[in-house]
Amino acid sequence: MATFKRDGLEFTVRDEGPTDGDPVLLLHGFPQDSTAWDAIVPRLHEAGYRTLAPDQRGYSIGAMPQGRQAYRMAELVADCVGLLDAFDIEKAHIVGHDWGGSVAWSMASLAEDRCQDVAVLSTPHPGAFVAVALKSTQLLKSWYMAMFQVPKVSEALLRPGGPGWKKIMQGLPPHQAQHYTQRMSRPGALTAALSWYRALALDMVGKGPGVKRTRIPALYLWGENDPALGRAAAEATADYVTGDYTFHIMSGVGHWVPETAPDVVATELLEFWSSH
């Protein structure tokens, strides 16, 4: 496991595949980690790509700062840029799922010069999410985000292994659910992961950078059975991408796209990268 440091924090990174291959930055979501991509990366390596999958801020043991200020989107994007700098990579293909998808969209806006292109699983463009939140069922689907804002209460309701936690884990392969449960059972791990949600309010009230329309080539994969991220925002994402754009609805797929549809994801990524 490789590491890199930024701003006094140490991040763990899975740097795998041919060292001279085109680099791919893989960004996991909540409450996952770099292992979310385990079933996908072998296909990418076979095709000649190098993958870098970090355990992001709040998930790396050496990068769990306290307080929601430390988890603003600008910091999360800066972590990704810091990774590319540390590994001497000028540009990479950016891939993200769930919260990692939000970081990927934001990186395409705030650090466009470091992105070859962007591919996002599940998560709509932030602009699309906000635009449809009050006009569709998305606000109801996102009720949990409000609950996550309340310290201690949300930690109690989401106690790893408890009823609330088991509901979140539904749909994951058992071995992966067990791994995430064990990881989030470490002292401070759940609070650090929830800090991503708690920092969201800071960006939404104007204290963080806005995410502009995406100008680089973009691929968006959305599972039609996703209980958290609905169709309206997924379809509206097209309005927030001005570059070449591919949108694919995955039939029969829910929220845990990397773990449950790895072959589809790998195929879509390889076709996307070879198309431009």
Catalytic residue among 98, 117, 203, 226: 98
Catalytic residue among 93, 97, 125, 255: 255
Q: Is 255 a catalytic residue?
A: yes
Q: Is 71 a catalytic residue?
A: no
* Cis previous bond, 187, omega within 30: no
Q: What is the DSSP string of the chain?
A: -EEEEETTEEEEEEEES-TTSPEEEEE--TT--GGGGTTTHHHHHHTT-EEEEE--TTTSTT---SSGGGG-HHHHHHHHHHHHHHTT-S-EEEEEETHHHHHHHHHHHHSGGGEEEEEEESPPPHHHHHHHHTTSTHHHHTHHHHHTTSTTHHHHHT-TTSHHHHHHHTTS-HHHHHHHHHHHTSTTHHHHHHHHHHHHHHIIIIIS-----B-S-EEEEEETT-SSS-HHHHHHGGGGB-S-EEEEEETT--S-HHHH-HHHHHHHHHHHHHT-
Q: Is 197 a catalytic residue?
A: yes
Catalytic residue among 197, 220, 226, 240: 197
Known catalytic residues?
98, 197, 255
